Structure 1
Amino acid sequence: MTTSAAHLERLDDALYAWLPPRRGWGLANCGLLVGDDTALWIDTPYDRTRAAEFLAASRDLLPPGADVDRVVVTHANGDHFWGAGIVPDAELIATREALEHTHFEPDPRQQHALVRDSDPATPLGAYLKAHFGVFDWSDTDPVRPTTLFRGELEFRVGPHEVRLTALPPAHTTGDLMVHLPGQGTVFCGDVVFASTDRRPGDHAVHWAGPLSSVVDACERVLATGAETVVPGHGPVLDRAGVRDHIGYLEYVRERAHAFHKEGVPALEAARRVVAENRFPELALPERLVITIGTEYRHLGPAETPNVLDLFGEVAALAAELET
């Protein structure tokens, strides 16, 4: 087995979770479900280098003659999606709504140029290089799903049943969850950003919202009855861990609504929530700029900001917190 396979955690005889060894932007969890002569990926790493490592580790576990021939992406953020180019012949499955989100972000080569050419003397440039400079999208073309669905989709990977359920807008406009009833497991993408005492995670970041929809999505995860939940980022959770995350989401929602009612601008509201330090174990508190800004847009008419403008505010707050 390759050294990269150290990232793989066995959840079941046929199911594995690819867990990055540290937290941070772009370091997403993925899944591997192995059939008799077939295999499924659930999400992909951010760039071709990491996707190639995941593919090598996956192939170490496959029966002779089998390969990864199907990929499900839980949403269209690049850190779950762009690595699919490493298996170009695989069926790539996503919700129809996921395509809408791809228009909100730069494509891989645009993002590579943006990070490469950013000025490290500015807060934004320094932030982009610090958090995204480790990835390489210089040879990554945009990927496009080959199978799109609405509602629900079921199929099998060898003997294993797979149930996909499209979710209302929550983390993005195209979220889905992957329920594997035979394994008692759900992969829920970025509906959940997990943390435990043993392995602290990061603050959540949500682009679509509102947070009540994110909470509802978490409840739908629990309604499957699954005992094991693999979040988009952070450690594998049990049901109690999902409940803990719901508590976090409800806290952020309550504070955002309270500050909005007082007329506090979104950026200042994020700054105040960070200062409350309710969850000191979570890294990247500056991401609350995005999540609270998203919630504010649901509380009153506001235009969706440019992603670079958002990251400028995120970077500025991160620089404040470092001083």
Structure 2
Amino acid sequence: MSITGGDIVDLGTGLYAWLPPRRGRGLANCGLLVSPRGALWIDAPYDPVMAGQFLAESEKRLPTGVSVDRVIVTHANGDHFWGAGVLPDAEIIATRDAEEHIHYEPTPQQQHALVAGSDPATPLGAYLGRHFGVFDWSTTEPVLPDTYVTGELELTLGDCAVQVSALPPAHTTGDLIVYLPTQRTVFSGDVVFSSTPQQPGDHPVHWAGPLSNVIDACERVLATGAEVIVPGHGPVLDPAGVREHIRYLAYVRERAHTFHAAGVPAFEAARRVIREGRYPALGLPERLVVTIGSEYRHLDGSALPGVLQVMSEVAALAQETEASRTSGGPE
């Protein structure tokens, strides 16, 4: 099952998914649950412009006198979190462990300054400008959770239950999934990135891991019995689509372990996985630098590098891969 992006999709019984239009990176799917007595978001868009668009679409579906008064954040990457600032009075709910990732990422204004101030003649500057230059965080203040979840939390909105489950470190430190049993729907956050033949997606990027935890998180999504899965990015899936994603994750994990055992550095391992061409339809293959680097850290106990170092490596591999593709050489 796939649903075209760039619109609000009605999932039944007051539940909607917002699938944003293509606009740089950071295009997170978001959810809206509406009842006569209140409404909540599941995740928030990346910058105030996109968040304002989602809010306008939300308000068209709110009963008179109802506002969005909660935001459940599946993880603390800015593309699922920073736009919550357009709802200054809403309660923001995240996992306790999400605090760690909040402190790892730059603030919105720091990221804006980095993108705007980077030299476009360098690989990093060109990459940041191409993928993040469309966003404006120049006046975006940091947002922080009001309520922290450990384990399980069940909320009720009208007649609908909302089951929140914190996860071990997977995509980030501080992931959660949201299951809505009335609608048989899960919002998975970025433990699932989706792709279909009709709507090819991008390679996932996993900051925490290990990949066994990401696979386990996908299995927990399936174990809910949900018929509809709204991933963090890409088209809406059915359970078969999640199983296909698990096969992708298992492939990347196997290749990372094989190359690590052979003494191949993480950057070179990412390059080799790209050249194997197993998933040619997926975009942004350079993000394998992050995912494979995270897996290597679990294998050898190395420290987490800074965001700038990681993104510099991502940009370098992106430039190399594009040059190879343009010249017709091996990818």
Superposition RMSD in Å: 1.0
CA deviation profile, 1:135-191 (whole Å, cap 9, x unmatched): 000110000111112001111111110000000000011000000000000001000
Aligned to 2:30: 30
> Quick one: distance in 1 between partners of 2:126 and 2:306?
19
The answer for the alignment partner of 1:243 in structure 2 is 243
Partners of 2:232 and 2:115 lie apart in 1 by 23
Q: Which amino acid aligns with 1:218?
A: C
- Aligned partners of 1:240, 1:23: CA distance in 2, in Å? 28
Equivalent residue, structure 1, for 2:263: 263
Judge conservation of contact 1:71–1:90 (CA < 8 Å) in 2: yes
Is 1:178 matched with 2:178? yes
Residues 30 and 291 (structure 1), Cα distance of their counterparts in 2 relative to 1, 3 Å cut: same
2:287 matched residue in structure 1: 287
Quote how far apart the aligned CAs of 1:24 are. Answer: 5.1
Q: Indicate the residue corresponding to 1:43 in structure 2.
A: 43
Structure-2 change in CA distance of 1:36 and 1:193 (3 Å):
same
Percent same amino acid among aligned pairs?
Answer: 69
Aligned residues: 319
CA distance in structure 1 between the aligned counterparts of 2:67 and 2:286, rounded to whole angstroms: 40
Find out whether 1:275 has 2:275 as its counterpart: yes
Under a length normalisation based on structure 2, what TM-score does the superposition of the two structures give?
0.95
Contact 1:23 1:202 in 2 (8 A): no
1:69-84 → structure 2 map (5 Å cutoff)? 69-84=69-84
Indicate the residue corresponding to 1:209 in structure 2: 209
CA contact (8 A) 2:164 2:178 kept: yes
Displacement over 3 Å in runs of 4+: none
Contact 2:24 2:132 in 1 (8 A): no
Give the distance between the partners of 1:25 and 1:208, measured in 2 at CA.
Answer: 19
- The structural deviation recorded for 1:37 is 2.4
The residue type paired with residue 227 of structure 2 is: E
Q: Flag structure 1 segments of 5+ consecutive residues without an equivalent.
A: none
Normalised by the length of structure 1, the TM-score is 0.97
CA distance in 2, matches of 1:302, 1:91: 37
SS at match of 1:64: coil
Aligned residue in 2 for 1:9: 9
Q: Deviations over 1:13-50 (max 9, x none)?
A: 31110002337520110000111121110000000010
The Cα offsets for residues 190-226 of structure 1, whole Å up to 9 and x where unpaired, read as 0001001111100000000000000000000000000
Alignment of 1:183-194 (within 5 A): 183-194=183-194
Kindly provide the amino acid, as one letter, of the partner of residue 274 in structure 1.
I
